[in-house]
Homo-oligomer: A and B are copies of this chain.
Amino acid sequence: MCGKVVQISQCLKTCSSHILSSMGSVSIPPPASLLRPLETPQRLLSGPGPSNVPPRVLAAAARQIIGHMHGEMLEIMDDIKKGIQYAFQTQNNMTLAMSGPGHVAMECAIFNTVESGESVLVAVNGIWGERAAEIAERIGARVNTIVKPPGGYFTKEEIEQALVEHKPVIFFLTHGESSSGVVHPLDGIGDLCHSHNCLFLLDAVASLGGSPILMDKQGIDILYTGSQKVLNSPPGTAPISFSERACKKMFHRKTKPLSYFLDMGWLANYWGCDGKPTRTYHHTGPISGFFTLRESLAILAEMGLENSWNRHKEVAEHLHKGLESMGFKLFVQEKHVRLPTVTTITVPPGYDWREITVYAMKHHNVEISGGLGPSSGMVLRVGLMGYNSNKANADKVLEALREALKHCHKSKV
């Protein structure tokens, strides 16, 4: 018996030394915190996103995966493409989902359509314009901005003046500025850009599905969104579409895009958008992320875009009415530019915004956020998107805010 133990121990030692060669063995032990079970709380995610994920989409996330190049996967990607075409209201063939969050789509749009030294015009009325400007600067573009304080938006005259002055190859605008709560008017901007030989790039991460966008009719050349707002998927995929005009620019570059991962030449083939008979491995797509994105787009297709827009509008108005009746002041003055998905509230005088958000989270499991970037310290933000967009949730938020106002005494001046 003793002999047997020695043999086994000898064998283990031999195996182990064989495996580990001359470098010695494992010296860093498994971390204790990782050996505790995963715990995650249940919350109403009523900040500016991500939103709660509906059970049907969670069920898609829990499916066993398949290969990223299996026929069934490519079909699911084809379904996603059609779902995005519907959600964006576009017939663009060059329509797909990025394997990353909204920032990846923003970089993809700029990396592919802009070359070093080219002029880019960015409208900055919150954080997203700032980000787009930074991305374009990093790749060596000549970036010019037009700037409004948070809550502001741009007239067509202001945009045209800047187009004339800077002669950009692309104009970046944020549709739903989630940091300020503004939804930007779109009518006429596409035509304006085209008459100045400029592409119109629109960020719709926070607005798509919650506020009307008609990509083709409105002359939008590049449009992208994220999976985790109105679409109610977990974050990690980002629908994007390019017009013929945008394709002409990006596929006639003098230089390769700086990123292989973001190269639309490769991505167009992976997504079956380039007309070639075979689809080549480019990167491994987030298979579960595509399952959930398909399910989210199916829910939107079943509900209908107009119904989704109307519901967000109604729920936002219900929320706004409740807020005003409690004495809150909405940050965006003009009703027609209030973003239906994310509402900004002026921080009530004498209150510390942090205490309000902490109170709502701690006592009501309700997420309310502060400002972001230029709107930091100025606003509270409430997002009710997709699955979360209903009056019962609006009432939960109102109740949490009502209680917060009562109990955050210390912060009163």
Contact = CB atoms under 8 A, between A and B. Distances in A.
Contacts of A271: none
A226 interface: yes
Contacts of A53: 64-65, 288
A289 B21 CA distance: 34
A86 B217 contact: no
B212 A20 contact: yes
Interface stretch (A37-45, A348-356, A405-413): A37-45
Contact of A283 (B33, B64, B101, B259): B101
Given A28-B91, A33-B78, A284-B50, A187 B22 contact: yes
Contact of A62 (B23, B59, B256, B260): B59
A215 B26 CA distance: 10
B101 A306 contact: no
Interface of chain A, main secondary structure: loop
Interface of A: 15-16, 19-31, 33-35, 38-43, 45, 47, 49-50, 52-53, 58-68, 70, 72, 76, 78-79, 82-83, 85-86, 89-91, 99-104, 107, 131, 134-135, 138-139, 186-187, 212, 214, 216-218, 226, 228, 234-236, 256-261, 281, 283-289, 291, 294-295, 297-298, 301-302, 304-306, 309-310, 313, 367, 372
Contacts of A34: 79, 82-83, 86, 294, 297-298, 301
Contact of A24 (B70, B186, B217, B305): B217
A307 to B, nearest CB: 10
A16 B314 CA distance: 12
Contact of A40 (B72, B99, B258, B367): B72
Contacts of A90: 28
A370 B85 CA distance: 34
A61, A138, A257: most-surrounded residue (chain B CB, <10 A): A61
A118 to B, nearest CB: 15
A329 B103 CA distance: 47
A238 to B, nearest CB: 10
Contacts of A27: 89, 214, 217
A203 B101 CA distance: 24
20 contacts: A20-B214, A23-B212, A28-B90, A29-B86, A30-B301, A30-B302, A30-B304, A31-B79, A33-B82, A38-B294, A40-B291, A41-B72, A43-B67, A61-B288, A100-B104, A101-B285, A138-B259, A228-B287, A236-B236, A258-B259
A104, A214, A261: most-surrounded residue (chain B CB, <10 A): A261
Given A82-B34, A86-B29, A236-B99, A306 B16 contact: yes
Contacts of A40: 63-66, 72, 76, 291
B138 A257 contact: yes
Contacts of A67: 43, 45, 47, 50, 367
B291 A38 contact: yes
Given A31-B301, A187-B23, A260 B102 contact: no
